[in-house]
Amino acid sequence: MKSSWDRRIARANELLQNNAAVSELLKFYQRLARFQKSIYETIAASDEHDVAALVPYFCGLLALIQESGSPVLKQAAADFAATSAEDRLDLLTALWQHEVESQELSPEHEFFARALLQPFAEYLAEKTETATEASPPLCPFCGSRPQVAVLRPEGDGAKRFLLCSLCATEWLFRRVLCPNCAEENKDKLPIFMAREFDYVRVDACDTCHTYIKSIDLSKNGNAVPVVDELATLSLNLWAQENNYHKLQRNLFGV
Ligand SMILES: [Zn+2]
Ligand SMILES: [Zn+2]
């Protein structure tokens, strides 16, 4: 059976074939996912529980960005190369322990930390039994915000789950409920779809003006939510133009 990392890499490959607008982003994502997979495997092999074990991976991450990152990321990686191991550990710890609201970090520094923390957090979350039935707005394992919602077929309909932006835990969440402000009035929770993707929608809230995308696996069983979320940038732009803010920016800051 393919690991979840392999499925993400393969799905990025499928989507970048006929998606010129996001092919560069998806190529970069593929390289990053391969790098994250190698971190995941090393962490799992040594059953590592200490964030400090991620510090040595900064070198590889900065090199990968120099090869294939955006100009802005490349510049930030060049500047970051001068930081000490202590600064690097502080950055990882701050994000992992929610000591700083991520808004206080520059988007590039947040990217560096999240890229390394994701495989670590995912490994720890997989090892842990977490109750996922209570519809909390934040991840029941690590306390991060959801990246995307997932609709999974169940009986005649579909159930909605939220997928954690850091550790990839999925938890059940009521379909008519805003994960940001708990609005539950159906009339305040509009749903928007794009013509290009019939299985991806924007779940918006007119009370707090945030949105989260939903990937409907009952309509497209090949989708890999975290990758399809990246590949549907046009929906983000549409939502932005309509004055909705994304609940949680993805790894690439959009
Ligand atoms: Zn989490
Ligand atoms: Zn809301």
Single-letter code of the amino acid located at 213: K
CB 191 within 8 A of CB 164: no
d(CA 194, CA 47): 43
Q: How many alpha carbons fall within 13 Å on the CB side of residue 50?
A: 6
Average pLDDT of the chain, as a whole number: 93
**pTM for the complete prediction?**
0.93
pLDDT band at 194; cut points 50, 70, 90: confident
> How close is the Cα of 206 to the center of ligand 1, in Å?
26
Which ligand is closest in space to the CA of residue 247? Answer: 2
pLDDT by residue (tens digit) across 132-145? 666 789 999 999 99
**pLDDT average, residue stretch 92-111:** 86
Task: Provide the pLDDT for residue 100.
Answer: 74
> How close is the Cα of 162 to the center of ligand 2, in Å?
15
**pLDDT average, residue stretch 91-100:** 90
pLDDT by residue (tens digit) across 173-190? 999 999 999 999 999 999
Where does the chain have alpha helices with state H? 4-17, 23-46, 58-68, 71-80, 85-96, 107-127, 225-231, 233-241
> How close is the Cα of 177 to the center of ligand 2, in Å?
8
> How close is the Cα of 147 to the center of ligand 1, in Å?
10
Q: Which residues surround ligand 2, an ion (CB under 5 A)?
A: 178, 180-181, 183, 205, 207-208
